[in-house]
């Protein structure tokens, strides 16, 4: 078991300077830790608020050595950080999650094999690495969704296919890289669970999050999950905890699920870090997902999170900074923030562009119904759909 790193004494590092790193840094600093970010971007959101930023590539030996020298423990803010970099850092420093766990999350085939080994059901699938694999695909998997095994996120690197001809064309369009074909199933809704696991094996779960995606990108999260039965929520929390435990995971892990129209719960994927769908915890829980990440990394106690306010989270993409003619504008923040219970979180990015995650808006209230009504009022002011 790793030793406890005390607030006010230790320095915590993070690989990656995006918004997740920024919120990790802010949580660590609120507890009294010194923080260091490694990111090649001179204008990284996390680097702007950290005590120190090391400008280096994620595989740069000198940068990694400098990060290890400066920090007592190191985490990552995104799943595509090279696993070998985490392994190199782990030779001399506490690293959580481990490079081996991150590597498993980076490959959909390995990820699904882990789900099966953990006894958690996922959609029927086939791994396609060659033309022979393509020819051997069982017809029952069509129609389906073809996804690249690596580097896909926010709907990227995937295509819906109705038959073998479309499957072959999609595999060719993906340049023949290893892929996973998942059977297309009748989906009722999507949900996710954030869990935190310590080096001592303790696991705590955050409340279940009901999610709505648009164009493959998370748009809305509601907590409590209004359409997820209590028994399904309990199963999702237990499944996420089992997945983390079987992985020997240390840190914050998000596990995403599908609830099918027949009531079955299937695991979709996992992310070895805090997650967009967990941003509601910043204003609706007594412990945020980022404080849980700090606690797990520093071997501090993991208290069970408590939801103190119903909440709706709206994801804010760069599209909001442009009008219908493509001219830049400022979103209606003053009007939005006049609505009681609104909490704006912008990520400090220097420029907006369509599809770029610029921030999120949490809307809390005394009841789920009041939170939803206020969130829809805010959505109208921002020009967002209200279809949840």
Tokens of 13: 């590092």
**Does some domain include residue 119?**
no
The predicted structure's pLDDT at residue 282 = 98
Domain contains 198? yes
Shared-domain flag, residues 174 and 228: no
**Is 2 contained in some domain?**
no
Q: Which of 142, 159, 183 is the last residue of a domain?
A: 183
Are residues 234 and 333 part of one domain?
Answer: yes
Angle between helices 61-70 and 83-90 (to 10 degrees): 50
85 shares its domain with 176: no
Q: Which tokens hold the place of 176?
A: 């023949």
Q: 251-288: string of b/e by CB count within 10 Å (b at 16+)?
A: bbbbbbbbbeeeeebbbbbbbbbbbbbbbbbbbbbebb
Instruction: Average the pLDDT over 168-177 and give the result.
Output: 93
The answer on 341 and 322 residing in a single domain is yes
In this structure, how many other beta carbons lie within 10 angstroms of the beta carbon of residue 324? 6
Q: If you count them, how many residues does the chain have?
A: 388
Question: Which residue do the tokens 């690596």 mark?
Answer: 150
Tell me what pLDDT residue 176 has.
87
Please state whether 154 falls in left (phi above 0), alpha (psi between -120 and 50) or beta: left
CATH code where residue 307 lies? 3.30.470.20
Domain encompassing residue 344 = 187-382
Mean pLDDT of 272-291: 98
Q: Is 56 part of any domain?
A: yes
Residue 369, pLDDT > 90, answer: yes
Percent of all residues in the chain with a pLDDT value above 90, rounded to a whole number: 94
Percent above pLDDT 70 for the chain: 98
User: CA torsion 120→123→127→128, rounded to 10°?
Assistant: -170
Q: Is residue 133 part of a domain?
A: yes
**Structurally, how many domains does the chain consist of?**
3
Residue 345: count of CB within 10 angstroms of its CB: 17
Kindly list the strands in the beta sheet with 144-148, ordered across the sheet, starting from the edge strand earlier in the chain. 125-128, 179-183, 144-148, 158-161
- Mean pLDDT over the full length of the chain: 96
Tokens of 156: 């990227």
Average pLDDT over residues 70-82: 95
Residue 274 and residue 374 share a domain? yes
Task: Examine the domain organization and report whether 192 and 176 are in the same domain.
Answer: no
Same-domain pairing of 34 and 89: yes
Q: How many CB atoms lie within 10 A of CB 308?
A: 11
Residue 163 has pLDDT above 70, yes or no: yes
Q: Sign of the CA dihedral 58, 357, 217, 228?
A: positive
Note the pLDDT of residue 192: 98
**pTM confidence score:** 0.95
Q: Where a domain ends, among 47, 80, 95? A: 95
Is 349 part of a structural domain of the chain? Answer: yes
Q: Are residues 176 and 251 in the same domain?
A: no
Whether residues 374 and 232 share a domain: the answer is yes
Whether 115 maps to a domain, the answer reads no
Position with higher pLDDT, 212 vs 155: 212
pLDDT digits (tens, 9 = 90+) for 117-161: 999 999 999 999 999 999 999 999 999 999 999 876 656 788 999
Minimum mean pLDDT range among 102-116, 152-166, 254-268, 312-326: 152-166
The pLDDT score that the predictor gives to residue 4 is 96
Alpha-carbon distance of 232 to 236, in angstroms, equals: 6
Asked, for residue 114, whether it belongs to a domain, the answer is: no
């Amino acid at each position: 078991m790793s030793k406890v790193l005390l607030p006010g004494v230790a320095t915590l590092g993070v690989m990656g300077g995006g918004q997740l790193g920024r919120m990790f840094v802010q949580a660590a600093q609120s507890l009294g830790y010194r923080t260091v970010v490694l990111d090649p971007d001179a204008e990284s959101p996390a680097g702007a608020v950290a005590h120190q930023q090391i400008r280096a590539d994620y595989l740069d030996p000198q940068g990694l050595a400098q990060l290890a020298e400066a920090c007592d423990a190191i985490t990552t803010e995104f799943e595509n950080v090279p696993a070998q970099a985490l392994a190199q850092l782990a030779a001399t420093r506490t690293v959580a999650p481990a490079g081996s766990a991150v590597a498993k999350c980076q490959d959909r085939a390995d990820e699904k094999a882990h789900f099966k080994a953990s006894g958690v059901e996922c959609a029927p699938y086939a791994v396609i690495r060659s033309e022979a694999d393509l020819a051997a695909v069982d017809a029952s998997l069509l129609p389906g969704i073809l996804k690249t095994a690596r580097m896909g996120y926010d709907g990227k690197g995937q295509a819906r296919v109705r038959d073998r001809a479309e499957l072959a064309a999609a595999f060719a369009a993906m340049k023949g890289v290893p892929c996973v074909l998942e059977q297309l199933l009748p989906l009722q809704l999507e949900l996710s669970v954030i869990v935190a696991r310590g080096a001592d094996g303790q696991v705590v779960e955050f409340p279940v999050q009901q999610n709505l995606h648009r164009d493959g990108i998370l748009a809305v999260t509601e907590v409590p999950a209004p359409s997820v039965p209590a028994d399904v929520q309990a199963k999702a929390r237990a499944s996420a905890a089992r997945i983390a435990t079987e992985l020997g995971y240390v840190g914050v892990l998000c596990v995403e699920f599908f609830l099918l129209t027949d009531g079955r719960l299937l695991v979709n994927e996992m992310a070895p870090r805090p997650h967009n769908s967990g941003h509601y915890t910043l204003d609706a829980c007594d412990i945020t997902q980022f404080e849980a990440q700090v606690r797990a990394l520093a071997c501090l106690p993991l208290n069970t999170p408590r939801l103190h306010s119903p909440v709706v989270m709206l994801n804010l993409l760069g599209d909001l900074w442009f009008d219908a003619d493509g001219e830049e504008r400022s979103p209606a923040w003053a009007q939005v923030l006049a609505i009681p219970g609104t909490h704006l979180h912008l990520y400090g990015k220097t420029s907006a562009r369509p599809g770029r995650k610029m921030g999120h808006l949490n809307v809390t209230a005394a009841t789920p119904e009041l939170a939803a009504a206020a969130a829809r009022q805010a959505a109208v002011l921002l020009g967002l759909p209200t279809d949840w």
